[in-house]
Structure 1
C-alpha cells in the first residue's frame, strides 16, 4: 500500500485512518518473462517483448508500423482483457515509436484488439446465462470483468494463480445458489486446462514479427487502486452536507476522485497537479484500466478540451443592474467526440491509458539485458545518454485507448466472424 499523506488527514482522534478502493485497476511490472510457454501465451499480459497473437491468421506486420516514419515499432504492452459474458477471447496490443521526429504526431502510437471465439467457454457461458434467465438472478451485482472470478478469464490480465500467483486483486465471489455453486466446483478442475488449450497462440516462427525490434519482456501484474479517504468535515450540530457524487459509486467503490469536475482556470494547470497527485499514490503504475470509466487527463491541452468540454453557459448580462458574480465553469467528462467504431458504428468507450512510468520501465529494461559484455554494456549506456539528450525516446505524458463498446467481431462485409483484428483510437497527451 502507498504511504499515507498526513496532509490529507484530519487530526481528529475519532477519525479512523483507512484507504478507499476505486474502480481502477493498475498494471505494474512484475519481473522478466523467461519461459518460452509464457512468451507464446496470449493470456500472459506483458510489457515489451514480442506479441502473442490470438487470431489463427497472423496479423499483417504493417500493424506495428509507425504512420509517420513507416518503421516497425516496439510493442509497449499486451493485455489479456476479455469482456464480461463474452464468448470471445480478447487481447489488446499497443505499439509505440521512439523516433524523435515522430513524437507529437498522430500515428506514432497504435492500438489493436485481437478476438477469437472460444468454443469451450461459449458452451459454459450459454449454460450459465440460461440458468440465470430461468432463476431470475438479475439482482446479482455486476462484477468487473477484470476482477478475480469474473468471466471469461479467472483473473485480470492473466491466468490467475497459474502465472501471477497471488498478485491478482482479491474480490468477493459472485452470488450463486447451491446448485450453481456445485456446478462451478465440478467444472473447476477442467476449466483451466480447457482455457489453456484454447489460448494456444499463433506461432511467430519464420515470421517478420520474430525479428521485429522489441524491449525486454516483463510480466504485467495488476492490483486495485487505493487512495487515502477524504477527511471528514467538522460541522456544527444539525448541519448536513449533500454530496452529489454519493450515489455515483460502482460496486460500492469510491468514484469521487474520478468524477470530480475540472475548473476552467488559466492561473494553474490543476489538471496536471491532480494527475501527479493521483499517480503519486502508486508510482509504479504503467497502465490504468477502467473499461467504460473516466480517463485521468495529464495536462490542459487539446485532448482535455475534447474529452472535458466546457458546458454551455447563459449569455453574460450587459446592463449594470444585472451584473452578477459568475462562478468558474466546470469541465465534466464527455466522450461523445471520440469517433465511433467504423465497422459496427457503435460508440467507443475509454478502456485504459498508458502512464509515464512505462517509458522509464522499457528504457531501464533495455539497459539491463543480461549476459552483456563490458563493451556491450558501455554501448547501451551511451545509447541511453543519447536518448536523454533527445536523439531517441518517447516523451508522451499519457496515451488513452478507446475501444468499440460492442467489441464487435465482424468481417469487412459486416458478417459475424470467429476472429477479428481491429485498430482502435489512441489519444496522446504529450509532455508539459
Structure 2
C-alpha cells in the first residue's frame, strides 16, 4: 500500500503515484496440476477438482456428494484447508457441484461440508500461548498497581507523622516516627525489553516450526481402496491464495465540499476488518450490483474463490430471490409534506443482513458468510476436463458429441450455469456429535445460497 501523501494539489502525474488498497478478501486462484500423490492425499493441500482428502480416519458416506436433484454423485469443485484462528480444530471445507444439464437452475446442486478434527499437539501449543498471555496481563496489572502506589506515596505530606519522604539527617527518624522500612522495589519484571522479546521470538518460532510440521503431517486418508476413488472427478489443480488489491481512486480537481460517490466502492479501507453493511440503491434502470461484480472481478480475473470469514458477499445480480434474502428491501420512510417545508426523500439503500440464513442445525448458532465460488471456476474446470477429452479415442469422442447434441438428455454433463455460490458456515465452528456432546471429529453440511447466470 502506498504511503499517504501530504500534497493537496492534483496533476497529471498524481494518478501514477497512487498505489493499490488491500482489502480483507483472500482470492483463490488455480496454480497448476497436482502430480504428487502425497499432495493428493494431504488434507492440508487446497485444491480445485480431484478427489477429496479427509481429516478423519473413517471416511464420510459417499452420499455426502450426491446431488439432491438427480441423486447422482457430484464432482468435487473445491477443497479448502481453512482452520479458524486460535482454534484447536483442524478444518477443511469440501464443495461438490452437479454439472448435469437437467439439474442446472435448481437448488441443492452445490453442496458444502465442513470437516473438523481435534488437534492435540496444536491444542497444547495454544494453551501455552494463552498461559503466557495471562501471565503477561497479570504482570502488567501488578506493574500498574505498583506505579499507582508510588504516585500515591509521592503525594503524602512530608511533615506528617507517618511520612518516609526523606531520610532524617540526624539519624533519629526511626526512633521518633517508628521503624518504617522503605518499600522494596517492584518484583514485577519490565514487560517488553530485549530479553522478553527474545524469549517470545524463540517460543513463537518453535510454535511456527511445530505448526508447519503438523500441517505437512496431517493425516489425509488415502482413498486408493475407497469408494471415493470411483466417484466422478475433474483433474486436480492446486488452489493458491492471493490478497485482493483494488486500485486507489485518482485525485480530481473539484471545488471544496464536492464529493463523487462511486457505486462500486465497497467501503473497505484496506484494514483487515469485515464489512458489516453493504449498501445498494434501488434502481430500475441498470443493475448496479452486476456492474460492481464485473468491475471487481476484472481486477483479478483468475479468481475462483473469494474468502472473507464474517465478511460481506459480493452479489452477482439483483434480479433474484437470493439477493433479496441477504440484501432485503429497505424500510420505506414516509415523508410528510407541509406548506411550510418541502423535503425530498433520499432513495433507500439495501444493507447486507444474514439474519435470514438458517442457523446451524447442530448447535443453533448463527451462520456467517465465509466464502463464495466465482464464475471463473466453471471455466477452469471445463478447460481441465476438455484436456482429458483430447485423449479419447475417435469412437469415444463420437459418443460424447452425440450425447451432447441429443435434445432432452437431462443426464448429459455440460457446463454449470450458476453465477456465484455463497457459503455460510457455523459461527462457532461447532464440533458436536449426534447427541449434541463435544466430539473430536465432526462432519457437517453447511448452507449454500446460489445465484444463477440467467
- TM-score of Structure 1 vs Structure 2, range by shorter chain: 0.7 to 0.9
Partner Cα separation in structure 2 for residue 192 and residue 283 of structure 1: 31
SS of residue in 1 equivalent to 2:388:
coil
Instruction: Choose which of 436, 450, 453 in structure 2 pairs with 1:414.
Output: 436
Instruction: Choose which of 321, 327, 331 in structure 1 pairs with 2:350.
Output: 331
Partner Cα separation in structure 1 for residue 402 and residue 76 of structure 2: 19
1:14 aligns with 2:21: no
The residue aligned with 1:262 is 280
Over residues 23-52 of structure 1, what are the superposed CA-to-partner deviations in whole Å (9 max), with x where a residue is unaligned?
100000000011110000000000001100
The residue aligned with 2:313 is 295
Structure 1 residue 350: Cα displacement: 0.3
Q: Pick the structure with greater CA Rg.
A: 2
Over residues 179-212 of structure 1, what are the superposed CA-to-partner deviations in whole Å (9 max), with x where a residue is unaligned?
1111123455444333333x11122233221100
SS of residue in 1 equivalent to 2:436:
coil
For the 8 Å contact 1:87–1:122, the answer to whether it is kept is yes
SS of residue in 1 equivalent to 2:199:
helix
Q: 1:422 to 1:314 in 2, by over 3 A?
A: same
Q: How many residues end up aligned between the 2 structures?
A: 381
Partner Cα separation in structure 1 for residue 129 and residue 407 of structure 2: 54
Q: Which ranges in structure 2 are unaligned for 5 or more consecutive residues?
A: 1-9, 141-195
1:426 aligns with 2:444: no
For the 8 Å contact 1:367–1:380, the answer to whether it is kept is no
For the 8 Å contact 1:290–1:351, the answer to whether it is kept is yes
1:55 aligns with 2:75: no
Using the TM superposition, name which of 317-326 and 336-345 deviates more. 317-326
Q: Which ranges in structure 1 are unaligned for 5 or more consecutive residues?
A: 1-9, 140-175
Question: TM-score scaled to structure 1, two decimals?
Answer: 0.80
SS of residue in 2 equivalent to 1:177:
helix
Using the TM superposition, name which of 68-77 and 388-397 deviates more. 388-397
**Mapping for residues 52-91 of structure 1, pairs under 5 Å:** 52-91=53-92
Partner Cα separation in structure 1 for residue 106 and residue 254 of structure 2: 51
Instruction: Choose which of 222, 247, 250 in structure 2 pairs with 1:228.
Output: 247
- Please, what is the CA RMSD of the aligned residues? 3.2
Partner Cα separation in structure 2 for residue 211 and residue 204 of structure 1: 10
Structure 1 residue 379: Cα displacement: 4.9
Structure 1 residue 315: Cα displacement: 2.4
Structure 1 residue 261: Cα displacement: 1.2
Over residues 85-126 of structure 1, what are the superposed CA-to-partner deviations in whole Å (9 max), with x where a residue is unaligned?
000000000000111211221211100000001111111111
Structure 1 residue 310: Cα displacement: 2.4
For the 8 Å contact 1:20–1:254, the answer to whether it is kept is no
